[in-house]
Amino acid sequence: MALKIYGLPRSRAIRNMWACEEGGVAYELVRTSWNDGGTKTPEFLKLNPNAAVPVMDDDGFPLFESLAINLYIGKNKAKGLYPTDAKGEAKLWQWTLWAATELEPHNGAYAANTYMLAPEKRDPAVAAAAWTKLSKALGVLDQHLAAQPWMLGGSFSLADINVSGILLSIYLNNADFSAWKNTKAWLDRCFDRPAAKKIIAARAAS
């Protein structure tokens, strides 16, 4: 049975779709929205009591949190995305947790108050404060990427998906990354990959 991903291409489920596409993993996207009560049904809440997408169901094994799902897919299902040595694995965890804590909250606040919320609900001051905090993290990322083309060194890995996947939405909505040349070039490289183009097309079509 194909691995099931509950969510929509215009949600964090896109990170899991990307990992599956990159790693040659067969999956079924079970289209589920939080806007129509889809995440509040008793069946859904058994899979994810947080009433949020994505959630994965691998033949009866449920897992929530988009980046944890990617770590599971990368380690157990995908080909060529997960480091084969303990130190590489630790660096993947480091960057994944960094992305979840240092990027995700500021990225979300910036996106919500720049283009996601209805115009009358956006607060430019919150957007500006979020961008300032995001800038600090982007500076760290830029310095890291000055020395190597991909997050873990010479080749693309799950770390690239987990970090760049968080920035995908603001990238597609014209956030200005010009102050971070290495990061901008890396984002261009990440999102120009065939698997990334496929999920970006699915997002645009949805």
Ligand X SMILES: N[C@@H](CCC(=O)N[C@@H](CS)C(=O)NCC(=O)O)C(=O)O
Q: How far is the CB of 66 from ligand X (least distance, A)?
A: 4
- 50 Cα distance to chain centroid: 18
Q: How far is the CB of 146 from ligand X (least distance, A)?
A: 28
β-sheet bridge partners, residue 146: none
Nearest residue relative to ligand X (C-beta): 52
Residues 87-106 that bind ligand X (CB under 6 A): none
The residues, ordered by sequence, that sit 6+ positions from 45 with a Cβ below 8 Å of its Cβ are: 39, 51
Q: Answer yes or no: are the C-beta atoms of 77 and 23 closer than 8 Å.
A: yes
Q: How far is the CB of 150 from ligand X (least distance, A)?
A: 22
Tokens of 130: 């979020």
Among 17, 25, 30, 52, the residue binding ligand X under the rule CB under 6 A is: 52
Tokens of 185: 């070039």
Q: Report d(CA 104, CA 120) in Å as an integer.
A: 23
Residues 107-166 that bind ligand X (CB under 6 A): none
Among 39, 70, 96, 182, the residue binding ligand X under the rule CB under 6 A is: 39
Q: What is the largest CA-CA distance in the chain?
A: 50
Nearer to ligand X, 62 or 149 (CB): 62
Binding site for ligand X (CB under 6 A): 11-12, 34, 39, 52-54, 65-66
